[in-house]
Structure 1
Amino acid sequence: MKFIQETPRSQRSIFGYAIDDFVSKDHFARMVNDLFDTIDLSSIEDRYSELGRPAYYPKSMLKAWFYAYANGIRSSRKLAKLLEENVAYMYLTNLRRPRYRILCYFRKENEEAMAKIFARVVHILCELGFISYDKSFVDGTLMKANASKRRTRKKGKVKEEIVELEEKIKQKLKEYFHEVEEQDRREDKIYGDKRGDELPPELASEIEKGNLKKLVEKAKLKIEQEKADAIDKKMKRIEEDYELLKEMEEKGVDEINFSDEDARLMKHGQGKAVPAYNGLVATENQFITGCLISQDKSDDYSLLPVIEEVEEVKGGALKPGTPVVTDAGFYNHKNLIGLDEKSLEGYIPKKIKTEKKPFSKDKFKYLKEEDVFLCPAGEKLCFSRYVTDKRRGTVYRIYRRGDCRGCPYFGECFKGRSKSRAIWEDGTIELVEATRERVKSERGKFMMEKRKTEVEPVFGNLKHNMGYRYFLLRGKNGAKIEWTMMCTAHNLRKLWVMLLQRAGKSKMSTKALIENLIDSRTREIIPINLLLKNLSINIQNFKEQFCQFLSKLVFWVKTLCVVKIF
């Protein structure tokens, strides 16, 4: 047997109670239980061996973990305690009480299960009509890592420390040699023409006893400790720094934290840098449709990975023309090109700093018919030549005016020794213009206002209401597991509230709503082997209940017979 056999929740004990009586019909724990029962976890269950002691049922562990995260609890010790004290948690695990180490290990080793649960919850939201993938709002937030800033070393600082230590070693060596010279001078004054190696009487007696070797070793150790210890410590520190630099080069990073090697120093709202991760989400109707963890300090190159994550969860590409709305932090040409290749409408405003500059590139109007740029002074910049950026692999078209020295804005428009202003174009001018016009349109203004009520409330709920401002698990994989669980917990909480509202209007229980809205579709989703498994469980439950009924019937018949005899 792979798993510990669980008692059916509807089965009554000898004391007359059933586990199903622990929570009310509209309780959040009941919704979590009913929803998780529709998820196929056979791929995870198949990893367990038939040998050894039966394991706890994975689905029950997942129910407990996600219910805990939805209530702002993520400590395995606290969860283990709640499984002994709180009836809602007991209901979800069928009175099973795993130890905190088992709970902690299960969370760390089941990244696939967490991602699968998130995707399945999103699918259910889609089936219920709460999301339709007709728009996507993307943003990121800083999440502190479980690491100290003091444990972070930067490549530049390490190099400076190596130079400083080498200078200190050189200084120590100079002092040592100077001291040796001074010692020689003092010995010359004391011994004069004598060799200075004549033994004093106390040492002569030790030699006679055969202890010369011992005295020499003792003297040698004393000299090494006094003169070489400080240098040895610094040399060891230099070797450690060189090993650290080598590790940074191999990983291609500029900094490393000894507590969490994947965390990076990022500035939060107060301007202080802390080891952290960038938690990214895509939302629709305040439900999270995609979540991702990034090590990048900015959002510049995180948009396309988030969209790909949404498509992976959805199980297919987004419809052409789907609006993708972000803030200015995601604005760059790579993101614009990527959205255009996917046939998605990007609503990405340009950064305010460049908008305020009177002579920035966007102030130069491109005339497609003439293939020229028109500057703010009304002069034309014509195509000059091609330039290839080998590092980025980008080919630029250079547009330049012959001579700008007669322009009234000369010296303000550009700086340097050049006689004229140049515009570097990478072939995205039409795409940039289209995005700018799209953002400035009435629909664009509506989308930008809508974004404020889409993503920001999600982060507010996660950080303020649920208390998730930092990660407990270390490493990028650990942060990804926790971020997925946090986002799933947010969706579960919001789904429960929406179902309660519907249940109040229709006067139906949340379970009945889920069954009416999901069951007809889940028959196509649940595999045949899972249906057969559920059928066998139901048959077994019927047998057990029937046996209990027969035993009670026999008991009452015997009782009646005894009463009749007397």
Structure 2
Amino acid sequence: FSNRYDRMAHTVVADSGYGSEENYRFMSENGMEAYVKYNYFHMEQRPRFKPDPFKAENFYYNEEHDFCICPMGQRMRRIGTRNVKTASGYVSENARYRAVRCEGCPLRCRCFKAKGNRTIELNHRLRQYKRRAKELLCSEKGLKHRGQRCIEPEAVFGQIKNNMNYKRFRHFGKDKVFMDFAFLAIAFNIKKMCAKLTKEGMNWLIRLFYKLTTAVFRCWEHINQRNLQKIAA
């Protein structure tokens, strides 16, 4: 988008596969409204959904004093930070917290099965991005964008993958894959245009377009053969 229009997009709508800290941070730093879902977003929207109190991301966190509270009410102190590097080279910071005394806890069998005291990791930056994303996605504007995404791009990919049975690219390499998908997009748009013209009773225009397209390809093939003959000579 930036290469084509020489600017960043103001609004971004994407599925949960793009809801990573790296993407959220990039959009935040470039002033984009990120209507991008994260993992378990759809699950959270279900009426019967109840958050698991034993998952680390659901523990109460005191931002002022930097500690967590486990389901039993025990304070978990900060013991350090672990850096995680992704395949793209982005580094995430995970804060580590450890309980002081888990032995004899009546909830231990439901909380964790390892020996010693429980240790958890929290990515505070990602949690902030997720909260902001949830606010945007659940807003009136967010509901509109989510509805449009399901209708516009998802329907096209459904047609291509299932009805046209195009599930794998035929070439390797970025440039060849780009060319492969470009031809597929052109064919899909022509097919859509022909269906619309047929519905409107304009079959004569389809036949004319077919003749023009055939003539162009024949001319191109003739010119290409002449060039090959010159090269061979």
> Displacement, 1:352?
7.1
Aligned match of 1:268:
none
Give, in whole Å, the separation in 1 of the partners of 2:82 and 2:130: 20
> Displacement, 1:317?
1.4
Asked if residue 318 in structure 1 is aligned to residue 9 in structure 2, the reply is yes
Aligned match of 1:541:
none
**CA 1:499–1:407: 2 relative to 1, 3 Å:** farther
Amino acid aligned to 1:486: L
Higher relative contact order (CA 8 A, sep 6+): 1
**CA 1:425–1:443: 2 relative to 1, 3 Å:** same
Amino acid aligned to 1:337: R
> Would you say the 8 A contact 1:311–1:318 is kept in 2?
yes
Picking from 338, 361, 364, the partner of 2:26 is 338
> Displacement, 1:481?
0.8
RMSD over aligned Cα, in angstroms? Answer: 3.9
**CA 1:373–1:345: 2 relative to 1, 3 Å:** farther
Aligned match of 1:327:
15
User: SS at 2:108's partner residue?
Assistant: coil
User: SS at 1:417's partner residue?
Assistant: coil
Amino acid aligned to 1:336: Y
What TM-score, normalized by structure 2, do the two folds share? 0.61
Picking from 422, 434, 437, the partner of 2:120 is 422
Aligned match of 1:385:
80
Asked if residue 367 in structure 1 is aligned to residue 56 in structure 2, the reply is no
Aligned match of 2:37:
348
**CA 1:335–1:413: 2 relative to 1, 3 Å:** farther
Amino acid aligned to 1:363: N
Give, in whole Å, the separation in 2 of the partners of 1:407 and 1:363: 19
Comparing 430-439 with 374-383, greater Cα deviation is found at: 374-383
> Would you say the 8 A contact 1:398–1:425 is kept in 2?
no
What TM-score, normalized by structure 1, do the two folds share? 0.29
Count of residue correspondences: 191
Which deviations, in whole Å up to 9, do the C-alpha atoms of 1:130-167 show, x marking residues without a partner?
xxxxxxxxxxxxxxxxxxxxxxxxxxxxxxxxxxxxxx
> Displacement, 1:483?
0.6
Question: What percent identity do the matched residue pairs reach?
Answer: 25
Q: Which runs of 4+ in 1 moved over 6 A?
A: 352-357, 495-501
Equivalent residue runs for 1:181-196 within 5 Å: none
**CA 1:351–1:462: 2 relative to 1, 3 Å:** same
Q: Structure 2: which 5+ residue stretches go unaligned?
A: 45-49, 206-233
Equivalent residue runs for 1:414-563 within 5 Å: 414-425=112-123, 427-464=125-162, 468-472=166-170, 474-476=171-173, 477-491=175-189
Equivalent residue runs for 1:8-157 within 5 Å: none
> Displacement, 1:462?
2.7
Which deviations, in whole Å up to 9, do the C-alpha atoms of 1:306-345 show, x marking residues without a partner?
xxxx3323332112xx1x2222333322222222222223
> Would you say the 8 A contact 1:331–1:351 is kept in 2?
no
Give, in whole Å, the separation in 1 of the partners of 2:147 and 2:104: 44
Which deviations, in whole Å up to 9, do the C-alpha atoms of 1:380-400 show, x marking residues without a partner?
433222334578654432223
> Displacement, 1:475?
1.8
**CA 1:314–1:471: 2 relative to 1, 3 Å:** same
Aligned match of 2:211:
none
**CA 1:437–1:405: 2 relative to 1, 3 Å:** farther
Which deviations, in whole Å up to 9, do the C-alpha atoms of 1:97-138 show, x marking residues without a partner?
xxxxxxxxxxxxxxxxxxxxxxxxxxxxxxxxxxxxxxxxxx
> Displacement, 1:498?
7.9
Give, in whole Å, the separation in 1 of the partners of 2:133 and 2:114: 31
> Would you say the 8 A contact 2:75–2:100 is kept in 1?
no
Give, in whole Å, the separation in 1 of the partners of 2:65 and 2:114: 28
> Would you say the 8 A contact 1:394–1:426 is kept in 2?
no
Which deviations, in whole Å up to 9, do the C-alpha atoms of 1:350-402 show, x marking residues without a partner?
24799787232331243333433344444443322233457865443222332
Give, in whole Å, the separation in 2 of the partners of 1:435 and 1:367: 21
> Displacement, 1:458?
0.9
